[in-house]
Amino acid sequence: MKYTICCLAFAFLLCSVSILKAQTTPVKADQTLEVNRKKIDSLDKKLIELLGERERVVREIGIYKSKNNIPPLQPARFQQVLNKNIEAGAKQGLSADFVTELMNAVHKESLRIEEELKNK
């Protein structure tokens, strides 16, 4: 009887250790995931702040262009900016397609702002 109880206690102990080990591994992984998600959230916030700052400069350019009858769209300038950013993106491991899509979206918003200022 004592032997059976000892065996059961030992088996229970082994199961408990296995369960605890199984529970601690995902918790550590979850903590790593949570830490990295917080980093992403912080970087996203900074990215939005930088885009806002960029658009404030676009407004200044839009006012200047409006006063001097310069059209909002300057294809040669956009191509220059795009090429420079594709090159910079490649150094960061970003694909040319991604950088192009991103810069097209940013440029579209910039043109919207400049057109809005031109039509005031």
- Does residue 12 form part of some domain? no
- Does residue 63 form part of some domain? yes
Q: How far is CA 78 from CA 22, 57, 64, 82, 106, in A?
A: 54, 15, 17, 6, 11
Which residue range is the domain that position 68 belongs to? 22-118
- Does residue 99 form part of some domain? yes
CB distance 117 to 62 below 8 Å: yes
Q: State the pLDDT confidence band at 41, using cuts at 50, 70 and 90.
A: very high
- Does residue 3 form part of some domain? no
Q: What angle do CA 53, 58, 62 make, to 5 degrees?
A: 150
CB distance 59 to 117 below 8 Å: yes
- Does residue 68 form part of some domain? yes
Q: State the pLDDT confidence band at 120, using cuts at 50, 70 and 90.
A: confident
- Does residue 5 form part of some domain? no
Helix (H) or strand (E) holding 69: none
Strand, helix or coil for residue 62: helix
> For 72, which DSSP code?
S
Among 88, 82, 87, smallest CA distance to 104 is for: 82
Predicted local confidence at residue 18, as pLDDT:
57
Number of domains in the chain: 1
CATH number, domain at 64? 1.20.59.10
- Does residue 32 form part of some domain? yes
- Does residue 28 form part of some domain? yes
- Digit-coded pLDDT (tens) for 57-97: 999 999 999 999 999 999 999 999 999 999 999 999 999 99
Please state, in angstroms and rounded to a whole number, the distance separating the CA atoms of residues 101 and 94. 11
